[in-house]
Amino acid sequence: MSEPIRVCAVDELPTTVGAVVADLDGRRVAIARDSEGSLHAFDDTCSHANVSLAEGEVEGQLIECWLHGSQFDMTTGEPVQLPATVPIAVHTLTVDEDGSVLVTLNDTTRV
């Protein structure tokens, strides 16, 4: 596990449901807001092929890949809809008292 990395101020993130991408130590990490307003951090690359999950749709706690429709649980990284069968890495996201969004990479292997 790495040290927490500051991504941005929380009020710099969109307030609507959806995802954006951050480059954290050379790793593309999606920062997504779910339907409840909670934030999640996970690897941006779909495990089925090399496309950005942040360009997909968020529904509830799921994000759907725009290319073939795989859905991943943003809290666990588990695929819940084929064709993807391999989980994506999820990372720990916190917002500190100053309103900074911090992400700790739980899986530091390169993707």
Contact residues for ligand FES (CB under 6 A)? Answer: 46, 48-49, 51, 65, 67-68, 70, 83-84
Q: Which amino acid appears at position 84 of this protein?
A: A
Question: What DSSP character marks residue 110?
Answer: -
Backbone angles phi, psi at 18, to 5 degrees: 150, -175
Nearer residue to ligand FES within complex by CB, 68 or 104: 68
> In this complex, which beta carbon is closest to ligand FES, that of residue 75 or of residue 85?
85
Two tokens, residue 20: 């954006």
The residue (of 28 and 68) whose beta carbon lies closer to ligand FES is 68
Check: CB of residue 69 under 8 Å from CB of residue 84: no
State the nearest-atom distance from the C-beta of 79 to ligand FES, in Å.
9
